[in-house]
Amino acid sequence: MDRQKVIFHIDVNSAFLSWEAVHRLKDLGDTVDLREIPSAVGGDRATRHGIILAKSVPAKKYNIQTAEPVADALKKCPELVLVPPDQKIYSRYSHAFMEILREYSPDVEKFSIDEAFVDMTGCQALFGEPVACAHTIKDRIYHELGFTVNIGISDVRLLAKIASDFEKPDRVHTLYRTEIEDKMWPLPVSDLIYVGKASVRLLHSLGIYTIGDLANSDVDIIRAHMKSHGEFIWKLANGQDVSIVETKKRENKGYGNSTTLAFDVTDAETAKQILMSLCETVAARLRADHRKAEVIAVTIRDTDFRNRSHQMVLPSPSNITTELYSMVCLLFDELWDESPIRLLGVRCTKLYEETAARQLNLFDTVDYEKQSRLDKAMDDIRAKYGNDAVKRASFMDQGRKK
The strand pairing partners of 306, in sequence order, are none
C-beta neighbour count of 367 within 10 angstroms: 10
Residue 169 near residue 13, CB atoms below 8 Å: yes
Strand order in the sheet with 254-265: 254-265, 341-353, 291-302, 307-318
Phi, psi of 270 (to 5 degrees): -65, -45
List the Cα angle 120/195/243 in 5-degree steps.
30
Strand, helix or coil for residue 12: strand
**Contact predicate 161/193, CB 8 Å:** yes
Catalytic: which of 109, 115, 280, 323? Answer: 115
Catalytic annotation present for 115: yes
Q: Which helix (H) or strand (E) covers residue 380, if one does?
A: helix 368-385
Which residues, 6 or more positions from 182, have their beta carbon under 8 angstroms from its beta carbon? none
Cα atoms found within 13 Å of the Cα of residue 169, Cβ hemisphere only: 17
Q: Specify the long-range contacts of residues 375-383, CB closer than 8 Å, at least 24 apart.
A: 375/283, 375/284, 375/287, 375/319, 375/320, 375/321, 376/287, 379/284, 379/287, 379/288, 382/284
Active site residues: 115
